[in-house]
Amino acid sequence: MASDHAEPLVEVKGVSKLFDLTQGVTDRLLGREANPVRAVDDVSFTINEGDIMGIAGESGCGKTTLGKLLVRLYEPTHGTIEFDGMDIGALTNEREREFRKRVQMIFQDPFESLNPRMTVFQSVMEPLKINDIGDSYHDRRDRVKEVLEDVGLAPADAYLDEFPKELSGGERQRVAIARALVVNPDFIVCDEPVSMLDVSIRAGVLNLMQDLQDEYGLTYVFISHDLSLIRYMCDRTAIMYLGDIVEQGPTDDVVMDPKHPYTEALFDAVPEIDPEAERHRANVTGEVPDPRNPPSGCRFHPRCSNVIPPENWTGSQDAFRRTIQFKRRVLTDDLDPEEALENAGRDSVDAILERGLALDLPEEHSLAGEDSHAVDPSAIDLPSDAERTLRRAAEQMLDDDPDAAAAELDGEFVSICEREHPEMRETGTRVTACHLYETEERDAVAAPGSSD
β-bridge partners, 106 = 190
- Residue 273 within a domain: no
d(CA 42, CA 89): 16
Measured CA angle at 80 (ends 72, 126), to 5 deg? 15
- pLDDT of 370 reads 79
Residue that is last in its domain, among 179, 209, 242:
242
Reported as a single tens digit per residue, the pLDDT across 293-332 is 889 999 999 999 999 999 999 999 999 999 999 999 999 8
- Residue 114 within a domain: yes
Reported as a single tens digit per residue, the pLDDT across 261-273 is 999 988 876 666 6
d(CA 269, CA 260): 15
Q: How many independent structural domains does the chain possess?
A: 2
- pLDDT of 224 reads 92
Q: Please tell me whether residues 158 and 36 are part of one structural domain.
A: yes
Q: Please tell me whether residues 238 and 340 are part of one structural domain.
A: no
Q: Please tell me whether residues 110 and 223 are part of one structural domain.
A: yes
Q: Give the structural domain span for 126.
A: 8-242
- Residue 295 within a domain: no
Question: Taking the model in full, what pTM does it have?
Answer: 0.87
Q: Please tell me whether residues 221 and 113 are part of one structural domain.
A: yes
- Residue 43 within a domain: yes
Q: Please tell me whether residues 345 and 223 are part of one structural domain.
A: no
Q: Give the CA distances from residue 198 to residues 171, 193, 233, 252, 365, in Å, rounded to whole numbers and listed in that order.
A: 11, 12, 18, 26, 36
Confirm if 435 and 414 have CB atoms less than 8 A apart: no
Residue that is last in its domain, among 191, 207, 242:
242
- Residue 318 within a domain: no
Q: What is the CATH number of the domain that holds 237?
A: 3.40.50.300
Q: Please tell me whether residues 16 and 120 are part of one structural domain.
A: yes
- pLDDT of 449 reads 41
Confirm if 78 and 51 have CB atoms less than 8 A apart: no
Which strand (E) or helix (H) includes residue 11?
strand 8-19
- pLDDT of 267 reads 84
Residue 146 CA to chain centroid, in angstroms? Answer: 37
Q: What share of the chain is helix, strand, coil (3-state, %, to 5)?
A: 40, 15, 40
- Residue 231 within a domain: yes
- pLDDT of 4 reads 55
d(CA 296, CA 247): 18
Confirm if 422 and 435 have CB atoms less than 8 A apart: yes
- pLDDT of 340 reads 75
- pLDDT of 24 reads 60
- Residue 221 within a domain: yes
d(CA 107, CA 392): 54
Residue 277 CA to chain centroid, in angstroms? Answer: 28
- pLDDT of 28 reads 61
Q: Please tell me whether residues 86 and 235 are part of one structural domain.
A: yes
Confirm if 208 and 201 have CB atoms less than 8 A apart: no
Q: Which residues of the chain have pLDDT under 70?
A: 1-5, 22-32, 269-280, 344-347, 372, 439-452
Residue that is last in its domain, among 193, 211, 242:
242
β-bridge partners, 188 = 104, 220
- Residue 434 within a domain: no
Max intra-chain CA distance, the chain: 84
